[in-house]
Structure 1
Amino acid sequence: MTSTPTQDETATDLLPAVPADAPALAQLEAVGVTAWFGQRKVLDRVSLTMPAGGITALIGPSGCGKSTFLRILNRMHELVPSAALAGEVLLDGEDIYDPERRLIDARRAIGMVFQKPNPFPAMSIRENVLAGLKLTGTKASRSERDALVESCLTRAGLWTEVRDRLDAPGGGLSGGQQQRLCIARSLAVKPRVLLMDEPCSALDPTSTRVIEETMVELAREVTIVIVTHNMQQAARVSDTCAFFLAAHGTPGVIVEHGRTDAMFGSPQDERTSDYVNGRFG
């Protein structure tokens, strides 16, 4: 769980500095979200507030709609030809699905890190970090690009490991390093929200710990929403939690949501208690 800053200046100095031009922390809110793939309804009237500057964990068994919901939060759902959607996704009160809002603006504000690390294999580490600038048409001088590469890799916890080989292929890094490179790439366009779909599921315990530490530090400057099947991870890193469930072929719904300590310590619904204590799922 994100911790309250202490008076220990030495510990504070170890954290990457929040960029001076970092955007204000953003709240993300889903209101009555219902989703379909063709005729099959996969989510039913899901409403959830993901607080600014915190980490929200989406938990629940496979097939309950967590990853679909995550993709709805930055308009990836609509890439599926048969997909349909009702409801709203509000970023600081403004609907990202408003017809007058450009898709590229939503994707710039709400970044995504996937389950499997996906650096561009033909690009160097440096080029991977800067790839988002080209996709969004953002211009920057050489010195600005160099500063951005260092800043993003530092915030992703990777700079000290790769600073002497920035021109090496991004695909040559270890799995954990590749995932942190993807985080750095997402940070380069200065998102206000970072979505993470099981970012540690393919990683070893050491890499998982580093990614978790990176998430906690990044929550000082960006709102994070993470899908995870690892209950220990949800308990360690998240501030709030939402439990999704889809029973007997019905669409996914949120059974319970709230502060993570309450969800794990004194859940209000027996199904939540059974899930977080490993009795099913």
Structure 2
Amino acid sequence: MTNAVETDTTRTLPAVEAGPGPSRPGPAPGQSGQLSGTLHAERVSAWFGQRKVLDRVTLEVPAERVTALIGPSGCGKSTFLRILNRMHELVPGAQLAGEVLLDGEDIYHPARKVTDARRAIGMVFQKPNPFPAMSIYDNVLAGLHLTGTKGSKSDRDALVESSLVRAGLWTEVRDRLQQPGSALSGGQQQRLCIARSLAVGPRVLLMDEPCSALDPTSTRVVEETIKEIAHEVTIVIVTHNMQQAARVSDQCAFFLAENGAPGVIVEHGPTDAMFSSPQDSRTADYVHGRFG
């Protein structure tokens, strides 16, 4: 287990009103060898205006594993998650220091389009957000339409089926693909959003409390989906549910913001070790429910 280290140059991020975001990319492709989905955040600090919310966060996210970000509300977990696919820059006045590397390439490099970064690093939000005017079928393909990806009808059909299978939803919806996605239950809508993210072929999938609005049965199904797809895509999940973190993740990072200070990583390491023998007493207090 390791702690965060120092930070460096501050980047002022452009404000974006809506849409996929500014065209402000990362380095020339092809320099990092095989693409595996390994994320590395190095000395990341973040501000909203003058308020610093993260301080010198360094974290290695291994490929094809589930990493859980844990910690009390207000410690910067969701901000850090959004930095990992350039959503932090959607906030006017947001600033960032440090680097985020995907398979060795800086996702904030001026040569990398923001849409490319977000295609490689997908996001599933806390509240399911299928497009209400679209069918289940069209919801799955929505990301391809936004990126201008084309294909034959048979290719699209195969992609819809494979994405829904991977999201654990195919058997429940295969006979009603033309019905609105918004007609599904909350748990099904969340899995539809997972299928929509998977359809564009991300290397990393970020999840911001994906089960917080779901009932226990739907939560169990989403957790099973996470475990089933983790062998093919790197997953980073923010959760306040310690039992969930213990069930689904391979490693945890414990964030904490104390006495008005910005959030830091107190400790991170294998999930079993974080829960059974943490190195910091604050980690032990949090994972065992003594605060937060």
- TM-score under structure 2 normalisation? 0.88
Q: Of the candidates 80, 97, 102, which is equivalent to residue 86 of structure 1?
A: 97
| Counterpart code for 1:188 | A
Q: Which aligned pairs between 1:1-281 and structure 2 lie closer than 5 A?
A: 24-281=35-292
Q: Runs of 4+ in structure 1 displaced over 3 angstroms?
A: none
Secondary structure of 1:234's partner? helix
Report the Cα offset of residue 83 of structure 1: 0.5
Tell me if the contact between 2:70 and 2:77 (Cα under 8 Å) persists in the aligned partners.
yes
Q: Deviations over 1:39-94 (max 9, x none)?
A: 00000000000101100000000000000000000000000011100100000110
Report the Cα offset of residue 24 of structure 1: 4.9
Report the Cα offset of residue 25 of structure 1: 3.0
User: Alignment RMSD, CA only?
Assistant: 0.8
Report the Cα offset of residue 26 of structure 1: 1.3
- TM-score under structure 1 normalisation? 0.91
Report the Cα offset of residue 168 of structure 1: 0.2
Tell me if the contact between 2:124 and 2:197 (Cα under 8 Å) persists in the aligned partners.
yes
Tell me if the contact between 2:36 and 2:103 (Cα under 8 Å) persists in the aligned partners.
no
Residues matched between the structures, number: 259
Q: Deviations over 1:196-235 (max 9, x none)?
A: 0000001011100000000001101000000000000000
Tell me if the contact between 1:29 and 1:91 (Cα under 8 Å) persists in the aligned partners.
yes
- Gapped regions of structure 2 (runs ≥ 5): 1-33
Tell me if the contact between 1:38 and 1:82 (Cα under 8 Å) persists in the aligned partners.
yes
| Percent identity between the two aligned chains | 81
| Counterpart code for 1:277 | H
Tell me if the contact between 1:25 and 1:221 (Cα under 8 Å) persists in the aligned partners.
no
